[in-house]
Amino acid sequence: MANDKGLVLVTGGAGFIGSHLVHRLVKDGYTVRVIDNLIRSDLSRLRDLIDAGRIEFIDGDVRYEDAVGRAMQGIDYVFHEAAVCINRSMAYPKESMDINLNGSHVVFQSALDHKVKRVVFASSASVYGDPTTLPMREDGPLAPITPYCVAKLSSEYLLRFFARKGLSYNILRYFNVYGPHQKVDAYYTSVIIMFIKRLIAGQAPVIQGTGEQTMDFVHVNDIVEANMLALRSDVSGEIFNVGSGVSTSVKRLAEILIASLGKDVTPQFSNVQSVVKHRQADITKIRRLLGFRPSVPVKEGLKEVAIDITKDPDSYRF
């Protein structure tokens, strides 16, 4: 499996974003190793690559030094994607901090010990909390409001600590990631799947509150591209927002999906309120320093997901 582009480790590589990233890395000619404990991931996302001998898979947990140490042998680059999602972090905060923060510590320490050339860390726009101004800038106020957000922000500072010892890194703050095979329990983007499933069943989507709350939907392909740019760039030690730069209301989301599936229904509204009311990334920095350009318009990307779910609804089980 040797390759002159280097050996890459993807933690959480059987997850939604991680698996898309693994496929891209293989396509681009990298040699790839994945470590994932498969508790909340799906190995079927990588089955084609495993069966073809294109990647090496390790069933392991990022909290355990021995497992991570074995996975880190000979590694040139690391993408740290493994994490517990927001929903689960609120239900099980201790577990969330253990995996999302202590797990990050184990990965970063091992990367330093094994003289890895670059770590790209998957952080989150949730570190900003509920913003007071839009769009949200990397140097804006930080106000994490869940254990997930706290651990992500703490991991950012932890990575800076290891950088002082010589570890090269870039941090990517993902906004509302969506795309084929997305997680059905993602705190913000699961609304996409819920709306589509109701529409397929001939029911109207149910919108929380007024529907004016907004998200910055960014397609998983654009997230993967940002990761590749963060890996290959001469720029290091930076934090980048990764979003579309476009704010889309939940009401507009429902309208796009209704039109995409050709349904004649009117959205319903509930009194349930969302935790964060607005999201919009300022992507000036990642454009300027990494040359990042979002390539998938929201309307086009959402239509793709709607069609994908229509073809295989059982793969998007709650």
Residues recognised as catalytic = 148
d(CA 137, CA 247): 14
Q: State the virtual CA torsion across 287, 293, 294, 296 in degrees, nearest 10.
A: 180
Does a cis peptide bond (omega within 30 degrees of 0) precede residue 135?
A: yes
Q: What stretch of H or E contains 219?
A: strand 217-219
Q: Could you write out the DSSP letters of every residue in 90-146?
A: HH-HHHHHIIIIIHHHHHHHHHHHTT-SEEEEEEEGGGG-S-SSSSBPTTS-----S
CA-CA distances (angstroms) from residue 99 to 62, 68, 83, 281? 7, 13, 6, 27
Rounded to 10°, the helix 190-200/298-311 angle is 50
Residue at token pair 């990764």? 242
Rounded to 10°, the helix 250-260/190-200 angle is 40
For residues 302 and 257, the answer to whether their CB atoms sit within 8 Å is: yes
